[in-house]
Chains A and B, each alone.
Chain A
């Protein structure tokens, strides 16, 4: 079984269902639109900031504000890519065609990841340039220190969110269960844990909190986060690996 055959097959699968287009399309639109809106509001609000806040004003990070919502579409993309196999019964047909379950799962993940990265990177650049245009005089330049890293990091962040969702969906199989856990977790629970001082120290090791550090160019005032941008991304990668390996371990021994 040549792996390239399976990659080709998985590409056909992913491009031939409409959920791919609308989840990824929604991720672009929501991220850019919300980022634009918040950039406009931030520009108008800039005069009201005190000196300390002006110093910490992170034009790059503000233009990524739409990701908090846009990542939900990435989660749906990641979940559906994997759990569609189970909810439709396609998994039996797929595994009869490709009995090497590791090859099957990782080909699927690789194809979906490359697609998510292409879309995520485009989204990140688009959100940055549109956002900066809205910020007018307070804009950051792509050549400023750390900015290019943050913009590419935004693409990586969206990709990793999708990959984490694929791993969770591979473990849970049901799309409803996977979305029911991931959506509230990333939209609400993670930010609550990260903002309440009692749980902050734990919250910042969650995948989205740690991963989003890469999109920051300026460190917020009195920030004592024990990792840098790449350290944070590393933590997120570790979460992704655990989720995917868990999904693989279960797929390997489970009856289809």
Chain B
């Protein structure tokens, strides 16, 4: 279990991590999600005692990281695939880590086997591809057979087979009762692996929720209607007991009624429809809406902007990204 309380990191005026409080529980995969520059890596470095917090603290099973005896046996972390000396062989890289924590030499071979690097154990790490580097980093995290595992963007640089492998690895680690904490900037990736979600933006906590709740709240499907006889269409829908929401661009959005039914309804009343289209708000869009206010590096493209606006459902969840479009326009 990892507990963060009021964790804050300031670099001069800039607040990189702002008063984060949440708990990472054992037995599940917790996804740590946020756009680039949200403070994910800084938070993870503070969890490992590498960076000193400006305020607040982190406890690993109730202890500070520096109080852990042989920390690799408690918590294994993959921070950066390149955090190793390229001139050292994979075996020796793992051996020096193992020795520092009193882990037997035989365990090095075991983890090399687990990540599939046995064949290149004697090769220097600088000849490794990004994916092989990730695997070596993961081997280092697994070395002490720890109860807590942390992975910072583990799928970066992996091929589809490698991505599949790491997803299964994380799930199986969690099913063994371990605490698995994994960061990503891809909602789609998290949707496949995480059971719980912690979302941050500009260092602030935006959501701390189970994955299933997040999906339920955010993957809304609806039907979009456009008609030159908008008022009559509204009346007809009202008579049938169908609730329609007026979207900003003159279209109507209907929840819970199939598109076919709506089409037949319109035909019965002789209504002209210019658009009748089922819509699905994806999790990626939900994530973008959630973090839109806090995205640090906006791409200033009107195209991209109108694209998002087109699929955005009307404001339904107050508080989350309220008025984000206006803010984006202003940015």
Contact = CB atoms under 8 A, between A and B. Distances in A.
- On whether the two chains bind one another, the answer is yes
A151 interface: no
Given A5-B102, A9-B100, A256-B51, A97 B71 contact: yes
Nearest to A1: B69
Nearest to B52: A255
A127 to B, nearest CB: 29
A253 B96 contact: no
A140 B99 CA distance: 47
A92 to B, nearest CB: 5
Query: For this complex, into which size category does the number of interface residues on chain A fall?
Result: 20 to 34
B96 A1 contact: no
Query: For this complex, into which size category does the number of interface residues on chain B fall?
Result: 35 or more
Contact of B77 (A84, A94, A96): A96
B189 interface: no
Contacts of A10: 96
A250 to B, nearest CB: 13
A89 B65 CA distance: 20
A104 to B, nearest CB: 9
Interface stretch (A12-20, A115-123, A220-228): A12-20
Interface in A64-108: 84-85, 88-100
B89 interface: yes
A9 B93 CA distance: 10
A155 to B, nearest CB: 27
Interface in A137-175: none
Interface stretch (B42-50, B283-291, B322-330): B42-50
B100 A5 contact: yes
B52 A90 contact: no
A17 B49 CA distance: 27
29 contacts: A1-B70, A1-B101, A5-B99, A5-B100, A8-B100, A12-B92, A13-B85, A13-B92, A16-B96, A17-B85, A17-B88, A88-B83, A89-B80, A89-B83, A91-B83, A92-B79, A92-B83, A93-B79, A93-B84, A95-B48, A96-B48, A96-B49, A96-B50, A96-B72, A96-B77, A97-B97, A99-B68, A99-B71, A256-B50
Q: Which 5 A-B pairs have the closest CB atoms?
A: A9-B100, A16-B92, A9-B99, A255-B51, A12-B96
